[in-house]
Amino acid sequence: ALQREGIKIVDGQQLMSDARVIKTQDEISLLNHSAMMVDAAYDELYRAMKPGMSENQAVGLASKVLYDLGSEYVEAVNAISGERCNPHPHVFSDRVLRPGDPVYYDILHSYMGYRTCYYRCFTIGYASHAMIDAYKRCRDYLDAAIALVRPGRTTAEIASVWPKAEEFGFADEEAAFALQFGHGIGLAIWEKPVISRLVSLEHSHEIKPGMVFALETFWPSSDGWSAARIEEEIVVTATGHEVITRFPAEELMVAGAHYFTVNGPLSTTRENEQAPSRRVEEMVAASAKAEGVAATD
């Protein structure tokens, strides 16, 4: 109809997409405020998580906090716990949290049109050695990427510090897409620049002041079912960068009650099934000897 009236119509999507790469100071303030609201949601979740709480209850709690603080729209609260952590889904369920569970969330919402994409990872009550190792690997890859964020560096340099897909169980970079990932954030969850080994090594872009993007990493645990997932939102400044996601994530957080024994606090680093003590091994060996059977390893 417009063309019939002599009005020229063109596709402006790419033009607008490019214009949104560099944020104004007002936009950065709104993105900061939006991230603050998720800081508060994670604080409430950390205090509330315990055995017996379901993933969908956690989603409801986080959503309530966000709406109470003025969120316009909670697009998603991805809640993933226990054996659902690996491979990584993007939905929540009615699964109930148990002692020793890993659990990670991605909170996406909008304040004055400006979004968040903000992962945090926890364990309930205690964490296994395998989960602690996975979290450290995940954090190290994230920190290596963040250290490269400053004007003049490139998306290829950031992507190059992340592991190849084959190093964490995937056939190729397409299969592992978005697990070690960076993406602009603003009026949409995913904006330019895109940072990934799949695209950035051959199609690199310069990092510039005013960019705001999220960097997220994933690492599966050696136990075959748990995994760690962390994400930070970053503003590129004139001289470096500022991380605007502030809920603590430098180490794996343990939520829920800390347990006590007759010998004092139970360690927050333990396995679901403990290795036999020397006394137990002696009992097994003595029993086997008395019964005339061989004790097996």
φ/ψ bin of 283: left (φ > 0), alpha (ψ from -120 to 50), beta (otherwise): alpha
Residue 281 has pLDDT above 90, yes or no: no
**Each residue's pLDDT tens digit, 219-242:** 999 999 999 999 999 999 999 999
pLDDT digits 0-9 by tens, 36-82: 999 999 999 999 999 999 999 999 999 999 999 999 999 999 999 99
CA atoms within 13 A on the CB side of 184: 23
CATH 3.90.230.10 fits 20-265, yes or no: yes
What is the C-alpha to C-alpha distance for residues 162 and 241, in angstroms, rounded to an integer? 19
Q: What average pLDDT does the segment 269-289 reach?
A: 86
pLDDT value at residue 272: 82
Span 86-133, pLDDT tens digits: 999 999 999 999 999 999 999 999 999 999 999 999 999 999 999 999
Beta strand pairing status for 191-195 and 118-124? unpaired
- pLDDT at site 26: 99
Give the pLDDT confidence score for residue 3 in this predicted structure: 87
- Strands 253-255 and 118-124 turn out to be parallel
| pLDDT tens readout for residues 141-170 | 999 999 999 999 999 999 999 999 999 999
pLDDT of 234? 99
CA-CA distances (angstroms) from residue 144 to 51, 84, 194, 230, 232? 34, 27, 17, 13, 12
| pLDDT digit string, tens, across residues 7-42 | 999 899 999 999 999 999 999 999 999 999 999 999
Q: What is residue 296's predicted lDDT score, i.e. its pLDDT?
A: 58
pLDDT over 60 at 212, yes or no: yes
pTM exceeds 0.85, yes or no: yes
Are 128 and 100 in contact by the 8 Å Cβ rule? The answer is: yes
